[in-house]
């Protein structure tokens, strides 16, 4: 891990915000799994259904960037910072894959991405300042909730949209890996039920609005 000053950290976060919301964030360089299959035989209605779901997933990835940046900002444990940075790069792949898929489906991203980023960044900072145990509990719970959400999408995505399905499946694997890492960290403690429910309600608000706006 390279030590950087506080002012540099804030510039890095701002840079991440701009690239996340307006594009051009670099990830791990993995190929977009959705590019393996062309979107050809979808009806307009199916395209609209897929695009709405992928817009929600893209908004989730905007939030994921902000969560990790927020968790990194005040974290002092270098192992945690290293893992958060690695995970954030994988989330950047998800962000780019879902963004490209929305374009292929002829739709647009959520107009509220800057809000999702701001809210999630605040949560990431709060989790980090609450200490290592809560930070890990928060990370694991977030990733497990995302995993459940993506499994739900595999049930409702049009059956012949194999391209979007490949993206969702690849994301699922990564999210499970992130949760697994947190749950197997020495300081991990599961979050209390009340906080888990609060996070679920917050996610529902984001899903509702990013589906439409």
- Contacts to Fe ion by CB under 5 A: 64, 91, 94, 143, 175, 178
Asked whether 178 and 143 are in contact (CB, 8 A), the reply is yes
Per-residue CA distances from 184 to 64, 77, 86, 129 (Å): 20, 16, 17, 21
Asked whether 65 and 91 are in contact (CB, 8 A), the reply is yes
SS3 30: coil
Q: Is the Cβ of residue 12 or residue 176 nearer to Fe ion in the bound state? A: 176
Q: Is the Cβ of residue 141 or residue 143 nearer to Fe ion in the bound state? A: 143
Q: Is the Cβ of residue 141 or residue 175 nearer to Fe ion in the bound state? A: 175
Q: Is the Cβ of residue 65 or residue 163 nearer to Fe ion in the bound state? A: 65
Q: Is the Cβ of residue 46 or residue 181 nearer to Fe ion in the bound state? A: 181
For residue 134, the minimal CB distance to Fe ion (Å) is: 18
For residue 135, the minimal CB distance to Fe ion (Å) is: 14
Place of tokens 């670099």: 26
- Give me the phi and psi of 111, to 5 degrees please: -75, -10
For residue 176, the minimal CB distance to Fe ion (Å) is: 9
Q: % helix / strand / coil in the chain, to the nearest 5?
A: 75, 0, 25
Asked whether 71 and 124 are in contact (CB, 8 A), the reply is yes
Asked whether 189 and 133 are in contact (CB, 8 A), the reply is yes
For residue 50, the minimal CB distance to Fe ion (Å) is: 18
For residue 93, the minimal CB distance to Fe ion (Å) is: 8
Alpha carbon distance 145, 94 (integer Å): 16
Q: Is the Cβ of residue 42 or residue 93 nearer to Fe ion in the bound state? A: 93
For residue 47, the minimal CB distance to Fe ion (Å) is: 23
């Amino acid at each position: 891990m390279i030590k950087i000053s506080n002012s540099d950290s804030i510039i890095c976060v701002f840079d991440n915000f701009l690239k996340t919301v307006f594009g051009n964030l670099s990830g791990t360089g993995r190929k977009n799994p959705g590019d393996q299959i062309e979107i050809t035989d979808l009806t307009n209605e199916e395209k609209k259904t897929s695009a709405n779901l992928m817009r929600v997933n893209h908004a989730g990835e905007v939030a994921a960037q902000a969560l990790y940046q927020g968790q990194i900002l005040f974290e002092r444990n270098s192992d945690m910072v290293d893992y958060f940075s690695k995970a954030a790069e994988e989330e950047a792949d998800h962000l780019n894959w879902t963004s490209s898929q929305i374009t292929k489906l002829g739709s647009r991203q959520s107009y509220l991405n800057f809000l999702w980023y701001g809210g999630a960044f605040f949560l990431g900072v709060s989790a980090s300042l609450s200490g290592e145990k809560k930070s890990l509990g928060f990370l694991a719970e977030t990733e497990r909730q995302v995993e459940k959400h993506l499994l739900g999408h595999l049930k409702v995505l049009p059956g012949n949209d194999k391209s979007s399905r490949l993206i969702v499946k690849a994301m699922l694997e990564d999210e499970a890996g992130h949760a697994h890492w947190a749950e197997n960290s020495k300081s991990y403690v599961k979050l209390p039920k009340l906080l888990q429910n609060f996070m679920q309600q917050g996610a529902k608000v984001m899903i509702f609005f990013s589906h439409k706006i």
